[in-house]
Structure formats: C-alpha cells, structure tokens
Amino acid sequence: MAEEIRAESYVGFDSITQQIEHKLLKRGFQFNVIVVGQTGLGKSTLINTIFASHLIDSKGRFASDEPVRQTTEIQAVSHVIVENGVKLRLNIVDTPGYGDQVNNENCWDPIIKYIKDQHSAYLRKELTAMRDRYIQDTRIHCCLYFINPTGHALRPIDVIVMKKLSEVVNVVPVIAKSDSLTPEERERFKAKIREELQYDNIRLYPFDTDEDDEEEVQLNAAIRNIIPFAVVGSENNVIIDGKSVRGRRNRWGVVNVEDPNHCEFMNLRNFLTRTHLQDLIETTAQIHYEAFRSKQLLALKEGVNQRPAQAQQ
Amino acid sequence: MSKMQISGRRRGSKIKGIQFTLMVVGMSGTGRTTFVNTLCEQEVLAHKIIDSPETANVEEVVTIRPVNVELEEDSVRISLTVVDTPGFGNNIDNEHTFQEIVTYLERQYDDILAEQSRIKRNPRFRDSRVHAVLYFISPTGHALKEMDIELMRRLSPRVNVIPVIGRSDSLTPSELKAFKKRIMEDIDHYDIPIYNFPYDVEEDDEETIQDNMELRALLPFAVIGSEEEVEIDGERVRARVYPWGIAEVDDPNHSDFVRLRGAILGSHLSDLKSLTEDVLYETYRTEKLSRTVADHRQSQVLPEDLANQSVRLKEEQLRREEEKLREIELRVQREIHEKRQELEAKEETLRNLESRLAAQGNSMASPY
C-alpha cells in the first residue's frame, strides 16, 4: 500500500474535479429509463411528474375504435432537459398493453428482449475495431415497475416479471395511484410486498458494495425500507395554502403530490435524480452490462473453440 | 304431540324473505369483497388473508362459492345469496376461469330444467339461478380492457350484467365522468348487452321513466366501500379516512353506492328476477333443446331425457342399496334360523342322553 504524502506546498491538482466537471458538462449525461406495468396505472403521468415536463403521452386506450389488442411495440422517446447548465439526455421507454390480455403468457418477453438488445448493441459497438470515441449509451439504467394498488399482494405475473427484470436491469418497484389506499392499508400492502420480494429472492436496487461508506450504507438501508414507493402523479397544479403545487383535487379533498404525508413521490424523485442518478448509471455498466458481456464473450469463445474441432472432424 | 304443534306454529309465522341471487365478478383488488360486506352491512365474505409469501401468489383456480344472508331493505325481507368469484383474472392465463363462471351460470339453469322435468318434483328445490352479476372494472381511467369486453360479452347472454367501477376513490370527478363515458362508448361499440334499466316511453309512467333514465345515466356505478365506521360531526358513518379528506360511502356525491343498492335490492329487484326467469332462462332452454334436436342424428339424448336419466339413475342407486340391505337382512335371518335348528338338534341329543342315562340308572338299580 502506497503511503499518503502531503505535498510541502499547494500543487493545485485538486482542480481536476472541476476539469472533469467542465468536460462532463459539455458532453452532457445520458439516462435511460423504462416503465413497466399494466395500462392505467399512471406510468406516463408519473414520468412527467418526476421530470416536471410533459415528456410522454399515455399509451392507454381512450377511444372505442382503438384496437384492444395492441402490438407491444417498444420504442424510446428522447428528450434533452437542461438545468443550471447541466444537460440531461433522457430516453424514456414506455411499454404499452402489458398484462392486459386474457392470456398473458410470455408478454414479458419483448420487454426483456429490448433491454438485452441495448446491451447487445453497446457490446457490438465496443468490440468494433474502429469504435466511436463516445459510444452512444442506450442501455437501460433504471426500470420502474408499477404495482397495482390492490392492497392485497403481488400477482403471479408481477413476481415472474420482476424476477426476470432484476436479472438484467436495476428494478425500482412503485405502487401507482396510491391515493386510493388509506395510510394503514398502504403500510400493510408495502410490508406484504417486501416480504414476498424477499421470499422470492428478487434482487432489487440499491445494492450494497464494499466501496460504500457509512453514510451511503445508511441511505441505502433507508431506501430499502421505503421500497416500494407509494406514489401519486400529477401534471396539474392545485393551490394549497396560497402555494401552487402539483396535486389532484378529488371528491373529498386535495392530494398534494409533494407532501410527504400524502405520498412518497418526493422520496422517489430525490432517489432517482438527486442521490442515486449517477449510481444507477454506473451499476448498469458495472454489474448488469458486465454480466451480459462476460456471458456473451464466453459463448463466443465456446463457439470459436467448437468450430476448429468440427473442422478437424 | 304438543312439540309438533309448537314447531308448526313457529314455521308458519316465519316470513321468508324474497330470494335474490347476486354474483360479483372482478379481478382481485377491485373491491368486490368490501362492496359485498358494505352492501350487507356485515362481514359476509372474508377478505383474502395472505399469511405467508408461499401462498401469496400461487396460481388460483376460480372457486365459486355462494353465501346466504338475510337482509332488510325498506322493511322488505330479502333472502340474499351472494356468489363470489375469487381467483378470477389473477392468473397469467385466464381463459379457463372465464369458462368456469359461464359454466356455473348454465349449471343453475340445467338444474332447474331437470327439476321441472321430473315426474315427482322436490318441494324444497332451491332456485339458485343468478339474477344479476356486478362486473367490477379496474379504475384505470382509460377504457375497457380486452378481458372486460370478452367476459362481459360471454356473461350477458346468460345473466343480467351491471358494470361497476370498483375502488373509484382515486379518480377525480372529471376523470370519473370521462371514464364512465368511455366505458359506455365501448359497451356500445362492442355490442355488449348489459342491464341498462330499460323503460318503455309509451307504457311506463313518468316517475319510472325518470328513475330509469337517472340510473342509466349513472352507469357504470362508481362505488367505494368501507367496513369501518368513523365519527363525523358526532355521527358514526361508514367512510375511508385519508390524510387529505374523508370519503363517505353513503354520500351520493362521493359514490353511487346508495343508488346502486336501492336499485338492485329495491326498485329493480323484481325486474332483474323476471328478466332472468322469463327471458334469459327461456332463451337458454330453447337454445339447449334446439341444439340437441339438431344433433339427434348423432344419437344424442334429449336433455329432458338426460335430466330424467340422471334422476332415474339416482333412483336406481337408491333401489339397489335398498335391495342390498334386504339381502343382508335375509341372510342374517337364515343364519339365525340355522343356528336355532342346530341348537334344537343339540338339545334333542342332550335330552336323549339324559333319558338313556336315567333309564340305565334305573336298570342298574333294579337287580337288587
């Protein structure tokens, strides 16, 4: 282990953090998120609420002449949001019509395939002899999984899909439209869900690594206690106590989306954008992509080894 | 003797409520159980208890279970049978669960068809035909899902279907209005014949027309249910308490619960029953009979004969069992008879021995 020396006078290399920041600010950041869940759970609204902009339209069926059975075409919608000189390039992948049919066998396959395809595309670009300086990153950094606010437990389809997703992407479960649950019902529901997730060994983000310091470990533990986030989304504003906040005015009161007593939207928003944004991007590259990469390269090697053997035969 | 008189008096004085069978269909979490318990003002159905994660999402079979409860609505006694359909729509593939519900409805019709064709009818036969199905739609806010359209379409030829939006708490008034409109448009577009409080402009009186028009405009009914009471302004009301307000079950501004209850258990109960008995059942009966007549060449038995056959089979079984019992009786009697004969024979030999001994004893004594 190298001994740490303190220079006799100020050198100035600590400005490298600003140099990096300067470079990164010019380049901008890329964040890709996929939303998965049944129609009508408020996926599009929530994304629009988190980023405080109208980014995606609901893929729901709003007219009788729209077909019931939609082809699960999975497409990304791209936006660039700028805040204080920081450019965030956002890719949002919405998944329509999932789990709504009579027979939902394998309806999750297109979604898993899409996620793997992004890893695959990145790998290919990485392995090219003449590769780009900065490979365009379309790998999914975060999957928001929407749970129906039934108040009972997870459905068989939820368990299967979350398990498969957690193997390829960072999964963050969310209870949508949680303004239909009273606080007691909500807590009971969340406890049941956490129990089930543990029982089924579903690995959810955040993961603890050796690099984390005390503060980060505590933060992660706190996040794990709140998961799944019980949220309410709204693109409309309401006036509460003279302030204009995002909320919903229903028949018996006004739900303030930004009030932590009403729902956990602020927790989710801060988690995704203020505390764990960089970590989500990094773990996708270091854990999920690496796992995919090693499997692919091993498979390639196997293929290469087999071919000369076959040629000899 | 006196005991029988008393019981007879008791039986005679008990007024039996009007019989009505209501089925509730919908995915778990749409508020079926809470609605039924709210409707009956008591815990009729048990909530899904998930104790351990192991049993939490095992793929379920639909278990259709009827429960009886006595109610009183507007001082009229109603003997309500609630048929719950837990497990519906929760599986990954729900095709067979649909069929089970339709089969259940048809089986009730089959039972009464068979009963009516019997030579000797059972006076205690219980008519278990379903008079109305409340179909619970998830409050997505969009329009109907494929599952909803499919199932309502399959159910409506056999039963009166009334669509209901369960757990409508999360919808704002404007969202709810738009949602209801879209659902009705879908129902119209896909030709789903639901029970829409029919009225005849020429025959019915003003009040009836008005009433039916209002109920029709409320479709699908947006309900919230609660089994808990809270105190508001000194009164105990059934409500759900949120951090931002209190939703009252019986407040018509908050939910359509009161109007729905009044309609199905009150004003439209007899209409629902007569539609079931006079129209839906008759249609089924005709379909079934004409279907089998057309297949007669394929040597299929007429359903009436089938029904009689099953009745006859049961009678046959009873007769066979009676015969067996009689045989056992005869056998036992024979054995007794044989044993008695043996006993008598033995007694004879014993008596002979005794007399011989006595004779010998005498002859031995005489020489002296």
| Whether the predicted pLDDT of B12 surpasses 50 | no
A256 contacts on B by Cβ (under 8 Å): 244
Angstrom distances, CA of residue B358 to CA of A7, B78, B355, B366: 143, 88, 5, 12
Closest Cα of chain A to B90: distance in Å? 7
Q: Which residues contact B336 (CB under 8 A, 6 or more apart)?
A: none
B182 contacts on A by Cβ (under 8 Å): 62-64
In this complex, do B149 and A63 lie within 8 Å of one another by their Cβ atoms?
no
Instruction: Band the pLDDT of A136: cuts 50, 70, 90.
Output: confident
Q: Which residues contact B35 (CB under 8 A, 6 or more apart)?
A: B24, B134, B136, B164, B166, B223, B225, B257
Instruction: Band the pLDDT of A175: cuts 50, 70, 90.
Output: very high
* pLDDT above 90 coverage of chain B, percent: 26
Mean pLDDT of B95-119: 86
Give the per-residue pLDDT at A266: 93
Mean pLDDT of B164-183: 90
Decide if A100 touches B, using CB distance below 8 A: yes
* pLDDT above 90 coverage of chain A, percent: 38
Instruction: Band the pLDDT of A164: cuts 50, 70, 90.
Output: very high
Decide if A226 touches B, using CB distance below 8 A: no
- Cis amide bond preceding A228, omega within 30: yes
Facing B57 at nearest CB: one of A40, A149, A153 = A153
Give the per-residue pLDDT at A122: 93
Mean pLDDT of A171-199: 91
Facing A248 at nearest CB: one of B93, B147, B172 = B172
Angstrom distances, CA of residue B94 to CA of B28, B101, B183, B301: 13, 11, 22, 32
Instruction: Band the pLDDT of B4: cuts 50, 70, 90.
Output: very low
Give the per-residue pLDDT at B319: 83
Angstrom distances, CA of residue A247 to CA of A137, A179, A254, B169, B188: 34, 11, 7, 15, 34
In this complex, do A150 and B28 lie within 8 Å of one another by their Cβ atoms?
yes
Instruction: Band the pLDDT of B9: cuts 50, 70, 90.
Output: very low
In this complex, do A66 and B143 lie within 8 Å of one another by their Cβ atoms?
yes
In this complex, do A251 and B90 lie within 8 Å of one another by their Cβ atoms?
no
* pLDDT above 70 coverage of chain B, percent: 86
Give the per-residue pLDDT at B14: 46
Angstrom distances, CA of residue B326 to CA of B314, B315, B318, B322, B330: 19, 17, 12, 6, 6
Give the per-residue pLDDT at B220: 94
Instruction: Band the pLDDT of B52: cuts 50, 70, 90.
Output: low
B50 contacts on A by Cβ (under 8 Å): 152-153, 192
Instruction: Band the pLDDT of B328: cuts 50, 70, 90.
Output: confident
| Whether the predicted pLDDT of A162 surpasses 50 | yes
Burial class (CB in 10 A: 0-12, 13-18, 19+), A73: exposed
Select the highest-mean-pLDDT range: A56-70, A98-112, B284-298.
Answer: A98-112
Q: Which residues contact B114 (CB under 8 A, 6 or more apart)?
A: B307, B308, B310, B311
In this complex, do B170 and A149 lie within 8 Å of one another by their Cβ atoms?
yes
Closest Cα of chain B to A58: distance in Å? 9
Closest Cα of chain A to B149: distance in Å? 9
Question: What's chain A's average pLDDT?
Answer: 87
3-state secondary structure (DSSP) of residue A240: strand
Rounded distance, CA A127 to CA A121, Å? 10
Q: Which residue of A has its CA nearest to B188?
A: A64
Instruction: Band the pLDDT of B59: cuts 50, 70, 90.
Output: low
Mean pLDDT of A290-305: 88
- CA angle in degrees (0–180, nearest 5) for B240-B246-B248: 65
Selected residues 134-153 of chain B with any CB under 8 Å from a CB in chain A: 138-147, 149-150
Facing A69 at nearest CB: one of B146, B185, B186 = B146
In this complex, do A262 and B139 lie within 8 Å of one another by their Cβ atoms?
no
Give the per-residue pLDDT at B13: 35
Q: Which residues contact A85 (CB under 8 A, 6 or more apart)?
A: A25
pLDDT digits (tens, 9 = 90+) for A265-288: 999 999 999 999 999 999 999 999
Q: Is the pTM of this model over 0.80?
A: no
Instruction: Band the pLDDT of B5: cuts 50, 70, 90.
Output: very low
Rounded distance, CA A214 to CA A228, Å? 23
Closest Cα of chain A to B170: distance in Å? 5
pLDDT digits (tens, 9 = 90+) for A74-133: 888 999 988 888 889 999 998 876 777 777 788 888 899 999 999 999 999 988 888 878
